[in-house]
A and B are shown apart, each in its own frame.
Chain A
Amino acid sequence: MTGVQTCALPISIDSYDGGQTPTLLRPGDHGISYMAQYEIFSTLCSDRAQRSVDHSLLVDGMPVTPERYLGLWRAAIAESVDPAVAVSVHGIQAVAVLRAPLAAVSEAKSSWTSCPFGTFARFQAMYGHHFLYGDDGTFSLELDLALPAHAQAAYYAASMMCNRFDRGCTSWQASIAVRQVGVRRHQAGLFEIAEA
């Protein structure tokens, strides 16, 4: 394959009972993946766009057709912003959360030749100042995806952790958390920007 495909973290601002919560389109606790455009649409068509059919999902409180709903996402993808702008403009921070028993991963090697650190030990040497160590031998760290190289580092570190643990195991976590920062009211959705 040639070319570089841009991947994204699709986030919707969900409103329940008057409160607004930034929600990752495809949450998960056991792996960090950024989504290609076709994955975003596949995920939307498996859930949210279907819910727009019977109006159990509304946009700005109004019913929309699934075609329109997908079109709004298409526009939002075209107007997507980098994580730093997401913080400053939308008040949404995305962080990678990694947690696992340190002994189990300390010898891990990356199966990716493109991994910038190659081994978990080297990753620990580069990002050790972010590590928090628990009494039970676990480490945890959060990498702010708005900072340079953190998104890439989180991806490869999570990949090494995935190779060491079963998916069903609860002793480890590699996930992306989206948080509301500051007190600004979110725009009703990235759609508003996309439609402007």
Chain B
Amino acid sequence: MSYRIEYQWACWRLPAGHRPGSVTRFVVAIEGGDNNLCDAVTGKRVRSWDVCMLGTASQVLKRAVYFAGACEGGSLKPGSRDCTPEAYIRRIRRLLEGDHAAPSQGNWYPRVRVPERHPLVAHAQQLGLPLTREQRYGDWFALIELEVSQRDLVFDFADKFPDLQGWQLAEVAGLPRT
């Protein structure tokens, strides 16, 4: 049976800004990959960093709970070890509540890619954001271009469209690989 292995976790805490009602937001990136996919050159299991959870503490924890559901059946193994859903949620909660610094290297940046018919596309057009089309594996996607200064918009998108996954809204670069 194949399963996903998670190797490393990184979390950025973005303190509440000056906008009324704003709250602290988090971006959680996870380095992970499938147990049965190996790199043809190195022979190591394939892995990549992806933004997996993004938003308020509540939004991030809800997503963590959703992912945790795969632990009980062995489809998700942090560190390649069996783990209960409760332990997985605790791990993510510690990331949010820990007094840790942001990762010493690497950063996250907005990169919004959604299916062309997703309502976020119409919303982005209303906001006057530039769009480009991209075909991936035969399906058309819309790429919404955001400047780094506009990156907080991804949290508005996460609030408005809770169906969107973190990796549809942001990416990471420069984080150390295992």
Which residues of A are in contact with B by a Cβ distance under 8 Å?
37-46, 49-50, 53-54, 65-67, 70-71, 74
A44–B90 touching, CB < 8 Å: no
Please name the residue on chain A nearest to B62 by beta carbon: A50
Q: Secondary structure of the B side of the interface?
A: helix
A50–B66 touching, CB < 8 Å: yes
User: Closest CB-CB distance, B131 to chain A, in whole Å?
Assistant: 31
User: Closest CB-CB distance, A42 to chain B, in whole Å?
Assistant: 4
B69–A42 touching, CB < 8 Å: yes
Q: B69's contact among A44, A54, A67, A71, by CB below 8 Å, is which?
A: A44
Which residues of B are in contact with A by a Cβ distance under 8 Å?
58, 61-62, 65-74, 84-86, 89-90, 93
Note all chain A residues with C-beta closer than 8 A to B74: 38
Note all chain A residues with C-beta closer than 8 A to B93: 65, 67
A67–B89 touching, CB < 8 Å: yes
Please name the residue on chain A nearest to B73 by beta carbon: A38
Q: B68's contact among A37, A45, A71, by CB below 8 Å, is which?
A: A45
Note all chain A residues with C-beta closer than 8 A to B84: 70, 74
Please name the residue on chain B nearest to A66 by beta carbon: B65
Question: If the complex has contacts A45-B66, A50-B66, A71-B86, are A66 and B72 also in contact, measured as CB distance less than 8 A?
Answer: no
User: Closest CB-CB distance, B93 to chain A, in whole Å?
Assistant: 8
List 11 additional A-B contacts (Cβ < 8 Å) besides A66-B89, A71-B86.
A38-B72, A38-B74, A40-B72, A41-B69, A41-B71, A42-B69, A45-B85, A46-B69, A54-B58, A65-B89, A66-B65
A53–B65 touching, CB < 8 Å: yes
Q: A49's contact among B58, B65, B70, by CB below 8 Å, is which?
A: B65
